[in-house]
Amino acid sequence: MAAERKAQLKVYRGDKEGGELKDYEVETYPGMVVLDAIHDIQAKQEPSLAVRWNCKAGRCGSCSAEINGKPKLMCMTRMTSFPENEPITVTPMKSFPIIKDLVTDVSSNFRMAKKIPAFRPRPKEADGTWRMQQEDIDRIQEFRKCIECFLCQDTCHVIRDHGKAEDFAGPRFLIALAGLDMHPLDTLDRRELVKDEFKVGYCNITRCCTEVCPEHINITDNGIIPMKERVADDYFDPLRWVIRKFTGGPEKKEKAHLPVLQEKTGSK
Amino acid sequence: MPAKPNGKGSEKVRRVIVVGGGLAGLMTVIKLCEAGVPVDLFSLVPVKRSHSVCAQGGINASVNTKGEGDSPAVHLEETVYGGDFLANQPPVKGMADAAPGIVFMLDRMGVPFNRTAEGLLDFRRFGGTLFHRTAFAGATTGQQLLYALDEQVRRYETLDVEDSKGSVIRGEKMVRKFELWDFLSIVRDDDGVARGIVAQDLKSMEIEAFSGEAVCLATGGCGIVFGRSTNSVINTGTAAAAVYRQGACYANGEFIQVHPTAIPGADKLRLISESARGEGGRVWVPRDPRDARKGREIPEKDREYFLEEKYPGYGNLVPRDIAARELFKKCFHEKRGVYDPKTKKNENEVYLDLTHMPEEMLRKKLAGILEIYEKFVGEDPYTNPMRVFPAVHYSMGGLWVDFERSHSGSLVIGSPRNQATNIEGLYACGECDYQYHGANRLGANSLLSCIYGGMAAGPAIATYVKNMRKASTGDTSKSVFEAARKREEDHYKSILDMEGDENPYVLHQELAETMLRDCTIERDNGVLDKVIEKIDDIELRARKCGVTDQATHANQGAPFIRHLFNMVVIARVIAQGARNRDESRGAHFKPAFEKRDDKNWLRTTLAMHEAGEGNQNNSIKYVRGIDYSIHGAPMHASDAVDVSLVTPRVRKYETAGAASETAKKSDDHEDEKSENRAEA
């Protein structure tokens, strides 16, 4: 372990009116992560520095930021992962409106989440059980590891460069939809929504989301591409269209609707 | 047409306020919505960031898939036995009986629980039991449960409120969420009844009062009082402390669980779930305290598996209080922790070894946990024994809540007494209540108690609210809300105006260091007196903090000072409770009083706040019973523990099956009876 040393940080200070990078120096210690450095600044130098964090174990997804331009969780990024003599730049996620310093407003994601029709299971089997195979569970567990840090949304160029946060589900919610679609007991067909409302077509598979995911979810290959294929099968494959026309197709799931569009709800 | 409520809030609809968006809070919301009661949900962080996401291991339910003879009766007995008989037993029975149904419900909400080869729910082992009772979803069970409940709540966020005739009230949804709001206090009317809350928007820093027909706190534990713990930083206990200051009773505060296995760290302690031991992990230290070899190079004969040797009955899966104490003893008293040749010291670490298990199985069942170890220690836990040490983890104590016992010794679901605090209209559930774990919680019972607490609180509040509507003589006057808002705003302004030279972060550090060192695994009256002096000192100095951040939005320094004030209050409850209780029970251990003393201490510690006047410090008044009322009907509860279902006995984890002795016996009787019947 290296002895005590100092690290230089450039941290973004500002709000929606504008801001700039400010220089700080902190003493490092073994095991220190970037979030520790930010806290050190907050406790000793700059009490007004705003940062969001919570569990400090890579589970809650609060402390997302861009470190040297790369979307990362501050609590899971060791100081030693950067060259010793170069300053470390910490800036807020660029794709979301800034509130203050490192804090951004990620509420567009929560609005998107609300649009996804919830899981609706089929009835139990005759013996009262509800069987699923571990293989199926493994597949959806991967997507459900997501901690909603929104680093993937931050890096996704559809959201980042084209400003489609309210329009495009983005990687996070496409894997949520994939998790529902692949759940062996779910009875809703959300594919039309995936095509028209969540706009799976916007994704052009640059795999940036997979690269930044701190949970190592294979977002593109295991989630988005299968969803694209399923949508293509259902809506754009002429052969399947013909077969469906004649046979009525495979067992049909009930079509899902956007929950917010429902007028009268809540049966007594 | 409902009358227009006062205070900020809904114009057309009367709502109940739930504070806290973890498992307990969300379950309460769901149960209220099912009963047709609209809710305002307040949360300090976006709900999915709540500390429930950190729970790794699983949730207990005696489904008995593996045909081991497990049953809710056994679950009840092992829970109260593990809790050293300090828990009131009817709520525990209610919880154990409901557990299988809860797991099935979660399964149907889409939680991806692991499966057996037959496609049925799989269960693993956890501490304090010999049965496979813990359902799990990989290593992220808490997160999966939280996300599933969140999905249900989101559904209610899009559902319209209907009036009593079934027509839609325009623009009103069943749930309104207020995320990133800090709870400040409840609003009490002239009769002392809770009628709403005051909260602060942490983005705009605005302070507002909200009316609610009842308030339910589900605000979690207080691990941050100890600084370095396995808890999330939001777990300061500030909300519970705030209502305690307003007159709510705080029970069994001195019972703080220390988890035996965490990754030691300078900044925070990261949990290694008990499931590591449940899946076969073994705890050991080298027999030779100077053994400089690496863990994996030390052969079997040179290892001391001290838990297995001392407790052959339950081995590595003894309850957490016992395991933590043994680890502490090894490291601190016997100086037998892992020897580090570099520092030439025996570090405060012991080995938690999984290397004898097949890697493929580990990757399947524990990957999430082992990843954290790999990430922060930089060692591969599949080939190297992990180095761990105990860390503060959970608060068994919390806000005192009532219950109504049914004829069968369980809970009367729907009784307005369940989960009710001694302030009328204020309810509590989840880790911030004290109800289900006695003196020591068993692993994987916390997710269960959060959900069951919500399932008890929701119907209780719905009944309370429905009865109130009948009896209601009019609304609380607007001035009550305005006064409450003004009080909190003045308080906040006074914090912003503080110009002292104390640094609140440093004060917190001092408090935390003292609490962690002197008020956790081993306690001593002389030392505790000093802890209380230290708390006195910090309470005085906290009034002389300086605030340099005057920002009008996203200000973090000023709310921290507010939380610090409340942490000092909770610290006092913990330390003073520990000082008073001259016995050893569960997580509370005093070497000078080594035995459990049922004659004097089989009772709940009931603490009431007494505010210090002027320059005086706060103090605590201990009571032996609680009187409160619900809609004018007087209620009384004493501090005696309801042990009507399982008679207290001394814990003996040396003997296999000791924790489930009587349930097993009565099962055998049942069998005999049914055999007799069959013969007849």
Question: Would you say B29 and B18 are in contact if contact means Cβ atoms under 8 Å apart?
Answer: yes
User: DSSP assignment of A174-189, as one string?
Assistant: HHHHHHHHT-TTB-EE
Q: Is A247 on the interface with B (CB under 8 A)?
A: no
- Catalytically annotated residue among B303, B320, B541, B572: B320
Question: Residues of chain B with pLDDT > 70: what percent?
Answer: 95
Q: Is A13 on the interface with B (CB under 8 A)?
A: no
Q: Is the pLDDT of residue B179 over 60?
A: yes
Which chain A residue lies closest to B158 (C-alpha atoms)? A260
Annotated catalytic residue B441: no
Q: Is the pLDDT of residue A250 over 70?
A: no
Q: Is A66 on the interface with B (CB under 8 A)?
A: no
Quick one: angle between helices A170-181 and A134-144, nearest 10? 160
Q: What pLDDT is stored for residue B376 in this prediction?
A: 81
State which amino acid sits at residue B7.
Answer: G
Q: Is the pLDDT of residue B46 over 60?
A: yes
Q: Each residue of B457-471: pLDDT tens digit?
A: 999 999 999 998 765
Question: Would you say A44 and A184 are in contact if contact means Cβ atoms under 8 Å apart?
Answer: no
Calculate ∠ Cα B376-B378-B384, nearest 5°.
Answer: 115
Q: Which of B48, B114, B363 to mutate to test the interface with A (most CBs of A within 10 A)?
A: B48
List strand residue ranges (DSSP E) for B354-462, in order: 386-395, 398-399, 426-428
Q: What pLDDT is stored for residue B13 in this prediction?
A: 85
Task: Tell me which residues of chain A, numbers 172 to 231, contact chain B at a CB-CB cutoff of 8 Å.
Answer: 180, 183, 185-186
Does B45 contact A62 at a Cβ distance shorter than 8 Å? yes
Of A27-31, A181-185, B625-629, the poorest mean pLDDT is in A27-31
Contacts of A101 in chain B (CB under 8 A): 554
Q: Which of A38, A42, A44, A54 to mutate to test the interface with B (most CBs of B within 10 A)?
A: A54
| Nearest-CB residue to A99 (from B117, B118, B554) | B554
Q: Is the pLDDT of residue B429 over 90?
A: yes
Question: Would you say B614 and B57 are in contact if contact means Cβ atoms under 8 Å apart?
Answer: no
Report the top-level CATH class of A6-103: alpha beta
Does B54 contact A55 at a Cβ distance shorter than 8 Å? yes
Q: Is the pLDDT of residue B680 over 60?
A: no
Give, as one character, the DSSP assignment of residue B332.
I
| Nearest-CB residue to A55 (from B51, B144, B368) | B51
Of A143-157, B68-82, B217-231, B474-488, the poorest mean pLDDT is in B474-488
Q: What pLDDT is stored for residue A266 in this prediction?
A: 38
Closest chain A C-alpha to B530 CA, distance in angstroms: 27
Listed ranges A74-83, B152-161, B310-319; the one with the highest mean pLDDT: B310-319
Q: What pLDDT is stored for residue A263 in this prediction?
A: 41
Residue A75 CB partners (closer than 8 Å, separation 6+): A33, A34, A35, A53, A55, A56, A57, A58, A63
Going by pLDDT thresholds of 50, 70 and 90, the confidence category of residue B517 is very high
Which chain A residue lies closest to B228 (C-alpha atoms)? A56
Question: Would you say A258 and A247 are in contact if contact means Cβ atoms under 8 Å apart?
Answer: no
Which chain B residue lies closest to A267 (C-alpha atoms)? B166
Yes or no: domain A107-251 corresponds to CATH 1.10.150.120: no
As given in the structure block, the two tokens for residue B290 are 């100077």
Contacts of B144 in chain A (CB under 8 A): 144
Q: What pLDDT is stored for residue A68 in this prediction?
A: 97
| Nearest-CB residue to B144 (from A43, A49, A144) | A144
Does B154 contact A114 at a Cβ distance shorter than 8 Å? yes
Task: Tell me which residues of chain A, numbers 113 to 172, contact chain B at a CB-CB cutoff of 8 Å.
Answer: 113-114, 118-119, 121, 129-134, 137, 140-141, 144-145, 147-148
Of residues B516 and B5, more confidently modeled: B516
- Report CA torsion sign: B435, B436, B438, B443: negative
Going by pLDDT thresholds of 50, 70 and 90, the confidence category of residue B316 is very high
Contacts of A29 in chain B (CB under 8 A): 266
Does B158 contact A29 at a Cβ distance shorter than 8 Å? no
Q: How far apart are CA B399 and CA B238, in angstroms?
A: 12
Closest chain A C-alpha to B53 CA, distance in angstroms: 7
Domain boundaries B16-254+396-477, corresponding CATH code:
3.50.50.60
Going by pLDDT thresholds of 50, 70 and 90, the confidence category of residue B669 is low
Of residues B555 and B173, more confidently modeled: B173
Q: Each residue of B443-456: pLDDT tens digit?
A: 999 999 999 999 99
Does B268 contact A56 at a Cβ distance shorter than 8 Å? yes
As given in the structure block, the two tokens for residue B286 are 């080298």
Going by pLDDT thresholds of 50, 70 and 90, the confidence category of residue B483 is very high
Of residues B68 and A57, more confidently modeled: B68
Q: Each residue of B247-293: pLDDT tens digit?
A: 999 999 999 999 999 998 776 788 999 999 999 999 999 999 999 99
Closest chain B C-alpha to A113 CA, distance in angstroms: 8
pTM of the entire predicted model: 0.93
Q: How far apart are CA B341 and CA B326, in angstroms?
A: 24
Closest chain B C-alpha to A205 CA, distance in angstroms: 27
Which chain B residue lies closest to A186 (C-alpha atoms)? B110
Q: What pLDDT is stored for residue A258 in this prediction?
A: 83
Going by pLDDT thresholds of 50, 70 and 90, the confidence category of residue B369 is confident
Q: What pLDDT is stored for residue A267 in this prediction?
A: 38
pLDDT (average), residues A213-229:
96
Contacts of A133 in chain B (CB under 8 A): 115, 119
Q: Is A40 on the interface with B (CB under 8 A)?
A: no
Which chain A residue lies closest to B233 (C-alpha atoms)? A54
Of A210-219, B244-253, B514-523, B612-621, the poorest mean pLDDT is in B612-621
Closest chain B C-alpha to A247 CA, distance in angstroms: 31
Q: How far apart are CA A83 and CA A204, in angstroms?
A: 33
| Nearest-CB residue to B557 (from A48, A145, A186) | A48
Quick one: angle between helices B72-82 and B89-108, nearest 10? 120
Q: What pLDDT is stored for residue B473 in this prediction?
A: 44
Going by pLDDT thresholds of 50, 70 and 90, the confidence category of residue B221 is very high
Which chain B residue lies closest to A261 (C-alpha atoms)? B158
Q: What pLDDT is stored for residue B6 in this prediction?
A: 45
Nearest Cα to B146, choosing from A64, A146, A133, A257?
A: A146
Question: Would you say A177 and A190 are in contact if contact means Cβ atoms under 8 Å apart?
Answer: yes
Contacts of A214 in chain B (CB under 8 A): none
Question: Would you say B7 and B477 are in contact if contact means Cβ atoms under 8 Å apart?
Answer: no
Closest chain B C-alpha to A94 CA, distance in angstroms: 18
Q: What pLDDT is stored for residue B279 in this prediction?
A: 93
Q: Is A55 on the interface with B (CB under 8 A)?
A: yes
Q: Is the pLDDT of residue A262 over 50?
A: no
All structural domains of chain B with their residue ranges: 16-254+396-477, 259-392
As given in the structure block, the two tokens for residue B589 are 């251990």
Residue B283 CB partners (closer than 8 Å, separation 6+): B260, B261, B277, B305, B306, B307, B316, B323, B327, B350, B351, B352, B353
Q: What pLDDT is stored for residue B8 in this prediction?
A: 52
Which chain A residue lies closest to B121 (C-alpha atoms)? A131
Of A241-255, B377-391, B437-451, the poorest mean pLDDT is in A241-255
Listed ranges B190-194, B370-374, B611-615; the one with the highest mean pLDDT: B190-194
Q: Is the pLDDT of residue B486 over 70?
A: yes
All structural domains of chain A with their residue ranges: 6-103, 107-251
Q: Is A268 on the interface with B (CB under 8 A)?
A: yes
| Nearest-CB residue to B155 (from A57, A118, A264) | A118
Q: How far apart are CA B460 and CA B429, in angstroms?
A: 11
Domain boundaries B259-392, corresponding CATH code:
3.90.700.10
Q: Is the pLDDT of residue B2 over 50?
A: no
pLDDT (average), residues B288-299:
94
Q: Is the pLDDT of residue B9 over 80?
A: no
Q: Is the pLDDT of residue B215 over 70?
A: yes
pLDDT (average), residues A100-124:
92
- Report CA torsion sign: B405, B408, B413, B415: negative
Give, as one character, the DSSP assignment of residue B415.
-
| Nearest-CB residue to A110 (from B46, B117, B375) | B46
Q: Residue B209: in which H helix or E strand, if any? A: strand B207-211
Which chain B residue lies closest to A110 (C-alpha atoms)? B46
Rg (Cα) of chain A, in Å, rounded?
Answer: 22
Q: Residue B191: in which H helix or E strand, if any? A: none
